[in-house]
Amino acid sequence: MDQQTPPLQKDLSKSVKIILLNKSGHKIDEFFMRAGANLWVFIRKRGLPIGAACSGVGVCGACNIKVITNNPNAISEQNDFEKNTLLKNNKLTENRLACLCRVFSDLTIQADYW
């Protein structure tokens, strides 16, 4: 009998902790958000400055951040659209666009403009 492996389930019922570092690497804030939610939305809800020139649709590159985590499953995967936006806007492709990221586990983020 051929059984299919169930798709990887993410636990969306828990909260995840986000730590924010400024350009110098100093902690400036931390907050909790619902696992699986959009990072950009929660940064804005927290009242922190984050790029928003395209209103969070992933085309301006202004919300680019550095994600620091040892867990490759902590954040949604970068797709070609996101990578192309980073390239077109002369941003590092290892950075992420907060508006296109969903967070599944605790992580630290850093931005040059904090």
- The contact set with ligand FES (CB under 6 A) reads 51-54, 56, 58-63, 85, 97, 99
Shortest reach from residue 40's CB to ligand FES, in Å: 6
Shortest distance, CB of residue 20 to ligand FES, whole angstroms? Answer: 16
Question: At its nearest, how many Å lie between ligand FES and the CB of residue 62?
Answer: 5
Whichever of 7 and 41 has its CB closer to ligand FES, that residue is: 41
Amino acid in position 39: L
Cβ-based nearer residue to ligand FES, 15 or 79: 79
Instruction: Provide CB contacts within 8 A for 68, sequence distance 6+.
Output: 21, 107, 108, 109, 110
Please give the Cα distance from 91 to 59 (Å, whole number).
Answer: 12
Give the distance, in angstroms, between the CA of residue 50 and the centroid of all CA atoms in the same chain.
12
